[in-house]
């Protein structure tokens, strides 16, 4: 069952061909902490950008392993591009941008990204 999400203003929207996740990752690195991201990771082939490619801007930091995508109008980061540990392309979905997901029901895994 697919789920969809968007940035705050709605210019950027996406779909993921997978069941909504039961859990998410939160990280205390300088980027995730400031943005309050709740991330779930999916193979790139399950992700479709429905609209807004022209409204996205990339942000890179640290080792430049993840291409953070944000809407140039509202500033929301709905997803990021990257690779799984095995090198397969993935999408990191900010579950805060998926209205159909009950954030309070997610099992949260904490990552100490500040120590990387």
Ordered structural domains, the chain, with CATH: 3-115 (2.170.150.70)
Digit-coded pLDDT (tens) for 49-63:
999 999 999 998 766
Please compute the mean of the pLDDT values over residues 96-101 and round it to a whole number.
97
For 14-35, what is each residue's pLDDT tens digit?
999 999 999 999 999 888 899 9
90 burial type by CB count under 10 A (0-12 exposed, 13-18 middle, 19+ buried): buried
pLDDT value of residue 63: 67
User: Using CA atoms, how far apart are residues 92 and 69, in angstroms rounded to an integer?
Assistant: 10
Share of the chain above pLDDT 90, in %: 82
- Quick check: 73 pLDDT over 70? yes
The predicted pLDDT at position 32 comes to: 87
**Of residues 74, 116, 100, 90, the one with CA closest to residue 3:** 100
């Amino acid at each position: 069952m697919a789920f969809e999400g968007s940035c705050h203003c709605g210019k950027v929207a996406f779909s993921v061909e997978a069941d909504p996740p039961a859990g998410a990752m939160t990280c205390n690195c300088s980027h995730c902490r400031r943005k309050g991201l709740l991330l779930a990771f999916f193979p790139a082939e399950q992700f479709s950008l429905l609209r807004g490619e022209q409204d996205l801007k990339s942000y890179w930091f640290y080792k430049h392993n993840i291409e953070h995508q944000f809407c140039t109008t509202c500033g929301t980061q709905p997803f990021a591009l990257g690779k799984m540990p095995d090198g397969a392309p993935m999408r990191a979905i900010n579950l805060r941008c998926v209205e159909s997901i009950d954030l309070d029901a997610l099992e949260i895994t904490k990552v100490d990204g500040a120590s990387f």
